[in-house]
A and B are shown apart, each in its own frame.
Chain A
């Protein structure tokens, strides 16, 4: 989410402010609190869910074939 923020003018301003001697630490803490990546609406798009499922399935199939899926 922070990387996405940095793609905006506001994000660039926040990036500079985050290095400020006084405001930097509390700002970083606040932004960390605000990050709720799992709630992002992008996860609900069908294409995105299919993408994730495909990658996970490819990886699982490889580990099964290689005989190492132990996690």
Chain B
């Protein structure tokens, strides 16, 4: 890479912003001189003011619409766009041979959005990108082989460079947090659409009520992904929000059962134990060395495609937990083999920069 790396990290909602902020921290550590810009993509903007203030308090981002994003990529204003969502405009740009081949344009590197429950559907979206970061490790080989096949049968396609990793999926710390033994709080990490049904969510809520009743000396927190009036532009927005259900079904819930919408990092720093159904929070907890339970046997789980998909992803992890074990707070450590497949080495920032440099070299040699 010639000179200081100029990188654009795009976002449009809470998950893409969390990704961008985490990747920015890794890149800053790997290359303090890099010029890193956060870019809010307005056509798909779904963040509330509270979420923006919480996740990016410096408000140091720039705004893009379809045209300005494409202009920036076309003019090569950045060395690379790093994104966990391949916006339609960007994908269309990269599918156009005359634009894809353009000398000095910005390279586009995509990451997964989070736990990918249906990875095969994401392959086609990522194929037009110049570089792709995936996980689990086995998927990098699968995708690379698939991409080579596509490139062999379509002369308009170039197989992207492929590497392993995601800023949320960094290898867990080898030692648990120093204060873990003194922590008391139990966190349940809610997800917008899983459990899917009202009955399923009431069941999970009742399990949290039961935990609070059985452990009056501990705080049981329901960590909300967002407040009920947020993320309303999502099709999969929360229909049965926990604050509403708690008020309606458990008006006399114990006082040590509480709701919070605090940042994820704050929750993982406080938690003695984290419980979730299908949330990526399970990954955050394992990464930070916090005992983790993934509960998938909730009522109406058969209605929820994410339950079966989560079970596939976490098969062999050791953290899928029965209701009885959950209620008795019986945890298991994650299996090392599974962890090695799912979590990437902590040098992700350096590897991203190396891929940007490799892509620039590839583009330079392709355009002669």
Contacts and interface: CB of A to CB of B under 8 A. Distances in A.
Contacts of A35: 239
Nearest to A4: B305
Interface string A1-42: 111101100001011101100001001100110010110101
Interface in B123-143: none
Nearest to A66: B214
Interface residues of A, number: 38
Contacts of A45: 302
A55 B297 contact: yes
B213 A68 contact: yes
B56 interface: no
Contacts of A56: 203, 299
Interface string B181-213: 000000000000110111100010011011001
B299 A52 contact: yes
Interface of B: 43-44, 46, 88, 118, 121, 193-194, 196-199, 203, 206-207, 209-210, 213-214, 233-237, 239, 249-250, 252, 254, 297-306, 323-324, 327
Closest 6 CB pairs of A and B: A68-B213, A18-B235, A66-B214, A62-B327, A37-B197, A52-B299
20 contacts: A3-B196, A15-B235, A28-B237, A37-B197, A38-B197, A40-B303, A48-B302, A51-B297, A51-B301, A52-B199, A52-B300, A55-B299, A56-B203, A58-B323, A59-B203, A62-B327, A68-B209, A68-B214, A68-B254, A71-B209
